[in-house]
Structure formats: C-alpha cells, structure tokens
Amino acid sequence: MSIESEYLLAVKKRFESMKALGDKTFNQLSEEDIHWTLNEESNSIAIIGKHMSGNMISRWTDFLTSDGEKLNRNRDSEFEDNNITKRNLQSMWENGWHVLMKALNELKEEDLLKIVYIRGEDHSVIEAIERQLAHQSYHVGQIVYIGKLIKNKEWKNLSIPKGKSDDYLRQMLEQNANEKRSYH
C-alpha cells in the first residue's frame, strides 16, 4: 500500500470517528437542548451544526474544480438561530458529511498534491484536507462539550469514563490480542 492511499484511508477514518461523536451527542439531546447557549456570544449546537454543514458543502462540492468558498454560500446566516428543528439540523448535518465523504472517496492518490483554492488562497489537496480535519475537530469538540454541559449527570460518556482508564486499557489490550490471534 502506498503512503498516499494509507493517508486517504486514515483521514476518512478520522472524519468518520468525528462524525460519530457528533451523532452520539445529538442522540442524547432534546429539541430544546440543541438551542441552549451559555450567553449571547456563545453558539448553540444548532448553530455550530448548521455552520459545519455549510462549510462542508461549500468546501467539498466540486472540490478539485472550484473555489471552496462558493458564491451561493451565506455563511453569516449559519450563525443565526432560526429555531431549526432537531430533525432538520440532523438532515443538514448528514448532507454536509455526505458531500465531504463523497469528495474524499473520489480522490485518487495523484490528486493529493494538486492545488485547490479556498477564498482565492491556494492549498495542496493535503493542506485542504488537514484544514478541514482541524475545523471539524474544533467544532465537534464544541458540540460534545456543550452536550456534556447540558446533560450533566445524564450524559452518556462517549469515550473512557473518569476513573476507568486502567479497565479500558486492559479491555483494549485483550481485544487486540484476540484479533491478532484470529489472523494467524
């Protein structure tokens, strides 16, 4: 396997993992929860989700052939809380991720060093992917954190529970050892 194909597989896995964290957070929240904000300057989960969707659709539609900041995108409206329903937010979320993953799945190894543009600034395809990874990580982290604030003691942990690191490590080591044995 080439470095290029390994890279494409790795970034797709990272994006899928990030999306799963967001999905698991949405599943714990009510209609009201997605609009909660700490203060006037804070964004709700609904706003962050709308923004992420708008960003992914703009950046990854016609990825190799047009500027990543599409003229029809209204970025400012992504930051308005128009009382979007949870169902509509999740539909937007899915659509954004679909556009991103479709574009990634269509990339070929030889595309990675091509130049694409975002707001007229040139990026290698690798740089554009890394930029999107950072953007998604930043906002998914916000979504998860806000979800934890809202749900408090009702929050269902998405990773290793506090005080359970040793148990988790033991479980993962056993699981991976069993998987290695099944390959031989």
Predicted structure pTM score: 0.91
Q: Report how far residue 12's alpha carbon sits from residue 10's, in angstroms, rounded to the nearest whole number.
A: 5
Give the CATH number for residue 82.
1.20.120.450
Identify the helix (H) or strand (E) that includes residue 164. Answer: none
Say how many domains are in the chain.
Answer: 1
Tokens of 8: 């494409």
Phi, psi of 69 (to 5 degrees): -105, 95
Q: How many helices (H) and strands (E) are present in the chain, helices listed first?
A: 5, 2
Domain of 65?
Answer: 3-183
pLDDT tens, position by position, for the chain (184 residues)?
899 999 999 999 999 999 999 999 999 999 999 999 999 999 999 999 999 999 999 999 999 999 999 999 999 999 998 999 999 999 999 999 999 999 999 999 999 999 999 999 999 999 999 999 999 999 999 999 999 999 999 999 998 888 889 988 888 888 888 877 666 5
Q: For residue 3, count other CB atoms closer than 10 A to its CB.
A: 9
